[in-house]
Structure 1
Amino acid sequence: MTSIQKAACIGGGVIGGAWAARFVLAGIDVDMYDPHPEAERIGGEVLGNAERAYAMLTMAPLPPRGKITFCKSIEEAVEGADWIQESVPERLELKRNVITQIDAATNPQALIGSSTSGLMPTDLQRDMKHPERFFVAHPYNPVYLLPLAELVGGQKTSPETLKAAQEKLAPIGMKGVIIKKEIEAFVGDRLLEAVWREGLWLIHDDICDTETLDDVIRYSFGMRWAQMGLFETYRIAGGEAGMRHFLAQFGPCLSWPWTRLTDVVDLDDALIDKIAAQSDAQSGARGIRELERIRDENLVGIMQALKAGDGGQGWGAGKILGEFEKHLWAQGGGAKKEPDFSAPLRLLDTKVSAAWVDYNGHMTEYRYLQVFADTADMLLRLIGVDFAYVEAGHSYYTVETHIRHLGEAKLGQKLYSTLQVLSSDDKRLRFFTTIYNAETNEALATAEQLMLHVDSKAGKSVAAPFDVLAKLKPIAEAHAKLPIPEGVGRSVGQKR
Structure 2
Amino acid sequence: MTRKASIIGGGVIGGGWAARFLLNGWDVAVFDPDPEAERKLGEVLANARAALPALSDVPMPAEGRLSFAKSIGDAVQGADYIQESVSERLDLKHRVLAQIQQAASGVPIGSSTSGFKPSELQQGAADPTTIFVAHPFNPVYLLPLAEIVPSAKNDPEIIERAKEILRDIGMFPLHVRKEIDAHIADRFLEAVWREALWLVKDGVATTEEIDEAIRMGFGLRWGQMGLFETYRVAGGEAGMKHFMAQFGPALKWPWTRLTDVPDFTEELVDLIAGQSDAQSGKYTIRELERIRDRNLIGFLRALKERDWGAGKVLLDHDRRRRAAFHEAAGTGEGAPLVMAHMQVLPGWIDYNGHMTESRYLFAASETSDAFLRLIGADMDYVAGGHSYYTAESHILHLGEAKLGDRLTGSLQVLDADDKRLHIFIRIQRGEETLATIEQMLLHVDMKAGRTCPAAAAVRARLGPIAEAHKALPRPAAAGRHVGQRKP
- Cα distance in structure 1, aligned partners of 2:49 and 2:326: 15
The correspondence for 1:250, drawn from 247, 251, 255, is 247
Q: Which residue matches 1:23?
A: 21
- Cα distance in structure 2, aligned partners of 1:450 and 1:284: 52
SS in structure 1 opposite 2:421? strand
Q: Is the 8 A contact 2:60 2:341 kept in 1?
A: no
Instruction: Say if 1:10 and 1:419 are closer, same or farther in 2 by CA, change over 3 A.
Output: closer
- Cα distance in structure 2, aligned partners of 1:316 and 1:358: 32
Q: Which residue matches 1:304?
A: 301
- Cα distance in structure 2, aligned partners of 1:365 and 1:163: 47
Q: Which residue matches 2:43?
A: 45
Q: Greater shift after overlay, 189-198 or 248-257?
A: 248-257
Q: Which residue matches 2:324?
A: 331
Instruction: Say if 1:75 and 1:391 are closer, same or farther in 2 by CA, change over 3 A.
Output: farther
SS in structure 1 opposite 2:292? helix
How far did 1:79 drift?
1.7
How far did 1:356 drift?
2.8
Q: Is the 8 A contact 1:301 1:355 kept in 2?
A: no
How far did 1:177 drift?
0.9
- Cα distance in structure 2, aligned partners of 1:227 and 1:364: 31
Instruction: Say if 1:120 and 1:359 are closer, same or farther in 2 by CA, change over 3 A.
Output: farther
The correspondence for 2:146, drawn from 125, 149, 153, is 149
Q: Is the 8 A contact 1:400 1:450 kept in 2?
A: yes
Q: Is the 8 A contact 2:4 2:28 kept in 1?
A: yes
The correspondence for 2:89, drawn from 67, 88, 91, is 91
Q: Which residue matches 1:203?
A: 200
SS in structure 2 opposite 1:220? helix
Identity percentage of aligned residues: 50
Q: Which residue matches 1:397?
A: 388
Instruction: Say if 1:457 and 1:290 are closer, same or farther in 2 by CA, change over 3 A.
Output: farther
Does residue 68 (structure 1) correspond to residue 66 (structure 2)? The answer is yes
Does residue 266 (structure 1) correspond to residue 263 (structure 2)? The answer is yes
How far did 1:315 drift?
1.3
How far did 1:298 drift?
1.2
- Cα distance in structure 1, aligned partners of 2:298 and 2:69: 36
1:466-481 map, 5 Å: 466-474=459-467, 477=470
SS in structure 2 opposite 1:61? coil
Does residue 181 (structure 1) correspond to residue 178 (structure 2)? The answer is yes
Q: Greater shift after overlay, 63-72 or 452-461?
A: 452-461
Does residue 322 (structure 1) correspond to residue 315 (structure 2)? The answer is yes
Flag structure 2 segments of 5+ consecutive residues without an equivalent.
none
Q: Cα deviations across residues 174-201 of structure 1 (Å, max 9, x unaligned)?
A: 1111111111101000000011111111
Q: Greater shift after overlay, 157-166 or 453-462?
A: 453-462
Number of aligned residue pairs:
482
RMSD in angstroms over aligned alpha carbons?
Answer: 3.4
Q: Cα deviations across residues 380-415 of structure 1 (Å, max 9, x unaligned)?
A: 355x32769849958633254557685865423454
Q: Is the 8 A contact 1:83 1:110 kept in 2?
A: yes
How far did 1:209 drift?
1.7
1:116-265 map, 5 Å: 116-265=113-262
Q: Is the 8 A contact 1:64 1:333 kept in 2?
A: no
Q: Cα deviations across residues 34-72 of structure 1 (Å, max 9, x unaligned)?
A: 111111211222112111112322242222222222122
Q: Greater shift after overlay, 256-265 or 140-149?
A: 256-265
Flag structure 1 segments of 5+ consecutive residues without an equivalent.
none
Q: Read off the aligned partner of 1:57 and give its amino acid letter.
A: L
Q: Read off the aligned partner of 1:69 and give its amino acid letter.
A: S
Instruction: Say if 1:249 and 1:361 are closer, same or farther in 2 by CA, change over 3 A.
Output: farther
Q: Is the 8 A contact 1:170 1:324 kept in 2?
A: yes
Q: Is the 8 A contact 1:121 1:182 kept in 2?
A: yes
The correspondence for 2:454, drawn from 452, 456, 463, is 463
SS in structure 2 opposite 1:168? helix
SS in structure 2 opposite 1:278? helix
Q: Read off the aligned partner of 2:229 and give its amino acid letter.
A: E
Q: Is the 8 A contact 2:331 2:464 kept in 1?
A: no
Q: Which residue matches 1:377?
A: 369
Q: Read off the aligned partner of 2:439 and give its amino acid letter.
A: E
- Cα distance in structure 2, aligned partners of 1:123 and 1:428: 64
Q: Which residue matches 2:98?
A: 100
Instruction: Say if 1:421 and 1:156 are closer, same or farther in 2 by CA, change over 3 A.
Output: closer
SS in structure 1 opposite 2:7? strand
Q: Read off the aligned partner of 2:455 and give its amino acid letter.
A: A
Q: Is the 8 A contact 1:117 1:189 kept in 2?
A: yes
Q: Provide the TM-score with structure 1 as the length reference.
A: 0.86
How far did 1:323 drift?
1.2
- Cα distance in structure 1, aligned partners of 2:244 and 2:448: 41
- Cα distance in structure 1, aligned partners of 2:51 and 2:79: 26
How far did 1:157 drift?
1.9
